[in-house]
């Protein structure tokens, strides 16, 4: 039979999928429904967020490389690729922070402004919250690895965190399409 961690982690991801599905459905239902401005095409630009997206998607690849290195006993490679993943995740978060600073500081656009603001900050914010959690988890693993506590036989546990990371990336593809392509 499967290791129980496989099923457990897939169950966690299933339940998370339905959580984000609810947020996305509400976002889609409310596109163009705001009574007052500003509208998404006035505020959102694709420049910064595209770079962010590339960074986050690249981090899915680096975490795979890190796991591969761990499995083949290449400890320094594991730490290197894991570090790259953390940097890319942090980059994504920094990009989001820059975008939000502009929106809140310059455009005075907040959760309270209109329906668009409400759904935008909730959906993008909950995703960013999950990225933050992922970056913390990866950093914890990196720290343990750096201290030499992570051995080859821990690869299964690292793999589960990588599943979570892939999930966070996939959700971003959906969020990106919904918020920046369909909704704009």
Partner 1 sequence: MTTAPYIPLSSKLHEWVTTVDHKKLGVMYILSGLFFLFIAGSEALMMRWQLAVPNNDFLPPETFNAFFTMHGTTMIFLVGMPILLGSANYFIPLMIGARDMAFPRLNAFGFWLFLFGALLLYFSFLGGQGLSGEEGAPNVGWFAYAPLTTTTFSPGSSTDYWIISLFVAGMGSIMTAINLVSTILTMRCEGMTLMKMPLFAWMLLVDALLILIALPTLAAIQIMLLLDRQFGAHFFDAQAGADPLIWQHLFWFFGHPEVYILILPAFAFVSEVTPVFSRKVLFGYSLMVAATISIGFIALGVWAHHMFATGLSPAVLSYFAGATFIIGVPTGMKIFNWIATMWGGHIRFATPMLFATGFIAMFVIGGLTGIMLAVVPMDWQLSDTYFVVGHFHFVLFGGLLFAIFAGFFYWFPKVTGKMLNETMGKWQFWLLFVGFLVTFGPMHMSGFEGMPRRIYTYFPGRGLELWNMLSSIGAAIQFFGFLLFSINLIWSLRNGKPAGDDPWDAWTLEWSTTSPPPPWNYAETPTVRSRRPLWDLKHPEDPDWEYE
Per CB under 8 A, residues contacting partner 1 are 1-8, 11-12, 14-16, 18-19, 21-23, 25-26, 29-30, 33-36, 111-112, 114-115, 117-119, 122
Give the nearest distance from C-beta 90 to partner 1 in angstroms: 25
Distance CA 119, CA 13 (A): 22
Q: Taking the C-alpha atoms of 97, 137, 170 and 13 in order, what is their torsion angle to the nearest 10 degrees? A: -130
Q: Which residue number, 37 or 73, has a Cβ lying nearer to partner 1? A: 37
Give the nearest distance from C-beta 37 to partner 1 in angstroms: 12
Give the nearest distance from C-beta 110 to partner 1 in angstroms: 8
Residue 47, CA distances (Å) to 54, 92, 99, 119, 123 in order: 11, 13, 10, 21, 20
Q: Which residue number, 25 or 54, has a Cβ lying nearer to partner 1? A: 25
Q: Which residue number, 12 or 57, has a Cβ lying nearer to partner 1? A: 12
Q: Which residue number, 46 or 111, has a Cβ lying nearer to partner 1? A: 111
Q: Which residue number, 3 or 73, has a Cβ lying nearer to partner 1? A: 3
| Number of Cβ within a 10 Å radius of residue 155 | 17
Distance CA 63, CA 165 (A): 8
The residues, ordered by sequence, that sit 6+ positions from 16 with a Cβ below 8 Å of its Cβ are 130, 167, 171
Give the nearest distance from C-beta 159 to partner 1 in angstroms: 16
Task: Label residue 71 exposed, middle or buried (CB < 10 Å: 0-12, 13-18, 19+).
Answer: middle
Give the nearest distance from C-beta 91 to partner 1 in angstroms: 27
The residues, ordered by sequence, that sit 6+ positions from 100 with a Cβ below 8 Å of its Cβ are none
């Amino acid at each position: 039979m499967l290791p129980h961690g496989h099923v457990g982690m897939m169950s966690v991801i299933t339940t998370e999928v339905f959580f984000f599905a609810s947020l996305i459905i509400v976002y889609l239902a409310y596109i163009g429904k705001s009574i007052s401005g500003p509208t998404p095409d006035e505020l959102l630009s694709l420049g910064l967020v595209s770079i962010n997206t590339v960074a986050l998607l690249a981090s899915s690849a680096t975490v795979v490389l890190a796991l591969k290195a761990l499995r083949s006993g290449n400890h320094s490679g594991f730490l290197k690729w894991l570090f790259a993943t953390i940097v890319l995740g942090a980059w994504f978060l920094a990009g989001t922070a820059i975008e939000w600073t502009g929106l809140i500081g310059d455009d005075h656009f907040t959760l309270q402004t209109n329906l668009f603001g409400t759904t935008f900050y909730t959906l993008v914010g909950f995703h960013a919250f999950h990225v933050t959690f992922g970056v913390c988890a990866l950093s914890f693993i990196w720290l343990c690895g750096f201290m030499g506590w992570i051995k080859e036989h821990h690869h299964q546990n690292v793999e589960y965190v990588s599943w979570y990371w892939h999930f966070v990336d996939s959700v971003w593809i959906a969020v990106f399409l919904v918020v920046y392509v369909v909704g704009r």
